[in-house]
Structure 1
Amino acid sequence: MKLIIQIPALNEQETIAEVIEALPRKVPGFTSIEVLVIDDGSTDDTVDIARRAGADHILRMGCNMGLARAFSAGMEEALALGADVIVNTDADHQYCADDIPALVRPIRDGEAKIVVGARPIRDNESFSPTKKLLQWFGSWVVRKCSGTDIPDAPSGFRAYSRDAAARMCVVNTYTYTIETLIQAGRKRIPMTWVPVRVNRVERPSRLFRGMGEYIRRSVATILRVFVMYAPLRFFASLAALCALPGIVGIVRFLGFYLSGDGSGHIQSLVLSSGLMAMAMVLMAVGILGDMIAANRSLLEDIRARDLLGATTRRRHDATILKLADAS
């Protein structure tokens, strides 16, 4: 089995060598381990330092495309390179590389297809009390939306089986962590988590400028992903919120009308009718969104088959070449 460890990097010349040198080169159950660095438009010496530190592959994005796009490109490249399991870790040396064998073990043993490394949030000195609270609350929201039990949703220290990696299709350009969890939960991909250790990181995150931006982007990502993968449920809930007061208003008007006092309550009838019309529009949008989601699911399945098929063909061709050389 081949394990590929991918590292999305943007201007990480200070830490990239330390990250690569800390990676294990032997993991139980794997005959080959390779390191893939995804250069997301770095303007410093990240690429040259990564090569000297022992990176087996460098994927250059050409310009800064964002973490989510770099992650997705890395997954596709790792699949093309014949990976059976893909581990994603950060270039800021936040995660302890010695925990990679524990991270991939559930996949190696067939217990799960995605494994998330859960950080010790409460004991992490790099996190402020506010950030710890937001991490806990955000992970709780993601668990509810995805139907999973992952305690650390924003963790980027993860392992994916070949099949799970091919089925991931990230649309968001900000970050992949929340979207892939909700997506995997909706697709019923087996997931689990393992506790991992972290290293102290001094520099601030480059994903967001402050806590306000982090909250805003995370909420927007959760809402967008939920609308994409559960549109009927989302819009039906909004339709119910509009329809219930509309029904109450209509019943109230009918009560006054039957008692002979309906002429003074036309305004409530107009408002209730507007709410009912809005509810019907929202329900129609939900039905259309559900049909679009079904088509997108089919397209994602086709994409996954193409990625896996290309990997299989490449392995087959490599096997034929080896046999030809041996003969």
Structure 2
Amino acid sequence: MRLVIQIPCLNEAETLPTTLEDLPRAVEGFDDVLWVVIDDGSTDRTAEVAKAHGADMVVQFANNKGLAVAFQAGLDASLQLGADVIVNTDADNQYAACDIPRLVEPICNGEADLVVGTRDIANHEEFSLLKKWLQRIGSWVVRQASATHVSDVTSGFRAYSKEAALQVNVVSQFTYTLESLIQAGRSNLKVADVPIGVNPTTRPSRLFHSKRQYVRRSAGTISRVYAMHKPLRFFNIPAAAFAAVGLILFGRFGWYYLSAGGEGRIQSLIVGAVCLLVSVQMLMLGLLADLLRTNRVITERVLRRVRNIELSLGTYGNTEEESDSDF
């Protein structure tokens, strides 16, 4: 079996040497361990540093495409290298590399397809009370959307089986953590989590500039992905709410019309009609989105079969034109 550890990077020339030095070259249950670095359009010497410190493959983008795109490129490169299990970690050495054996163990034992390394958020000294609260609320929302029980949904320290990696299709450019977890849960993959350690912070987060921006983008990602996977529920709930308001207003109009001798509340009739119209439109959007979801599921199955065929023929990833890869 082959384990591939991938590291998405953006201007990490200073921290990358420490991260690579901590990575293992041998893990029990695997014949070999390879390292893949994805340089997401860095303007420093990230690619050169990666090669100098033992990276087996460096994927380079000419310009910055976003963390989610770099993550997907890393999965594709790892599969191209023949990975049976893929571990994703951060270039800032945030996660303790010594926990990689614990991270991959459930996959090796056939107990999981995706394993998330969960940090002890409650006792994390570098997290403010506000961030801990936001993490707790966000994790609860994602657990509901993904039907999983992962306690730290934003952790980027993850292990994917080959089958799980083949099913990941990240469309967001912001972050892969939420979207890929919701996809995994809704694709009936076995998802587990294990406790991990963390290292002291080496730099501020580059993913977002403020907590408000992070919450806004995360909420948008969760809503979009949930609408992709559960469109009828996503649209039917607000449709039912608008319908209920419309019927209540219609009832109010009827009550006043009958009790006041024909003088109703015309504003209730107008607003109620608008609410019912919006409800019908939401229902139609839900039906249309559900048809698109069915088409997407079929497309994903075809894509997965194509990927499997390319892997068996040894041609996987040869059609990529957006990045340069160096062994």
Q: TM-score range by the shorter chain?
A: over 0.9
The residue type paired with residue 229 of structure 1 is H
Q: Aligned-pair distance for 1:260?
A: 6.0
| Contact preservation (8 Å) 2:254, 2:264 | no
Q: Cα deviations across residues 264-317 of structure 1 (Å, max 9, x unaligned)?
A: 3222112211111110011000110011011111111111121122112229xx
Determine the C-alpha separation between the residues in 2 that align with 1:65 and 1:161: 25
2:284 partner amino acid:
A
2:108 matches 1:108: yes
TM-score (norm 2): 0.93
Local SS of the residue matching 1:263: coil
Q: CA deviation at 1:49?
A: 1.1
Alignment of 1:67-216 (within 5 A): 67-216=67-216
Distance in 2 separating the partners of 1:59 and 1:52: 14
Secondary structure of the structure 2 residue equivalent to 1:264: coil
Q: In structure 2, how many angstroms separate the alpha carbons of the residues matched to 1:301 and 1:83?
A: 20
Hey, what's the Cα distance between the residues in 2 that align with 1:264 and 1:118?
59
**8 A contact 1:3–1:86 mirrored in 2:** yes
Please, which runs of 5 or more residues in structure 1 have no aligned partner?
Answer: 316-327
Worse overlay, 101-110 or 131-140 = 131-140
Deviation at 1:160, TM superposition (A): 0.4
- Report the counterpart of residue 297 of structure 2 in structure 1: 297
Residues 76, 307 of structure 1: 8 Å contact kept? no
Asked if structure 2 preserves the Cα contact closer than 8 Å seen for 1:6 and 1:88, the reply is yes
Which has the higher mean CA deviation after the structures are superposed, 107-116 or 262-271? 262-271
Deviation at 1:116, TM superposition (A): 0.1
* d(CA) in 1 for partners of 2:171, 2:278: 29
- SS of 2:294's equivalent in the other structure is helix
The answer as to 2:31 corresponding to 1:31 is yes
Q: How many aligned residue pairs are there?
A: 315
Does the 8 A contact of 2:253 with 2:264 survive in 1?
A: no
**After the TM superposition, which parts of structure 1 deviate over 6 Å for at least 4 consecutive aligned residues?**
none
Q: Could you say what secondary structure the match of 2:160 adopts?
A: strand
Question: Structure 1 residues 220-229 or 143-152, which shifts more?
Answer: 220-229
Distance 2:280 2:84 in 1: 48
Judge conservation of contact 1:22–1:97 (CA < 8 Å) in 2: yes
Kindly provide the CA deviation profile for residues 21-48 of structure 1, in whole angstroms up to 9, marking residues without a partner as x.
1111111111121000000011111111
Paired amino acid for 2:58: I
Task: Measure the CA separation in 2 of the matches of 1:3 and 1:308.
Answer: 18
- CA RMSD in angstroms, aligned pairs only: 1.3
Distance 1:148 1:234 in 2: 18
Tell me the CA shift for residue 123 of structure 1. 2.2
Deviates more, 1:276-285 or 1:213-222: 213-222
SS for the counterpart of 1:149 is coil
Q: How far apart, in 2, do the equivalents of 1:290 and 1:18 lie?
A: 47
1 CA distance for matches of 2:243 and 2:158?
A: 43
Whether contact under 8 Å (2:86, 2:162) holds in the other structure is yes
Overall identity of the aligned pairs, in %: 49
TM-score (norm 1): 0.93
Cα deviation for residue 90 of structure 1 reads 0.2
* Distance across 2 between alignment mates of 1:29 and 1:62: 37
List alignment gaps of at least 5 residues for structure 2. Answer: 316-327
Query: In structure 1, what is the Cα distance between the partners aligned to 2:88 and 2:116?
Result: 10
Instruction: Give the Cα–Cα distance (whole angstroms) in 1 for the partners of residues 6 and 197 of structure 2.
Output: 18
Would the aligned equivalents of 2:255 and 2:264 in 1 still touch at CA under 8 Å?
Answer: no
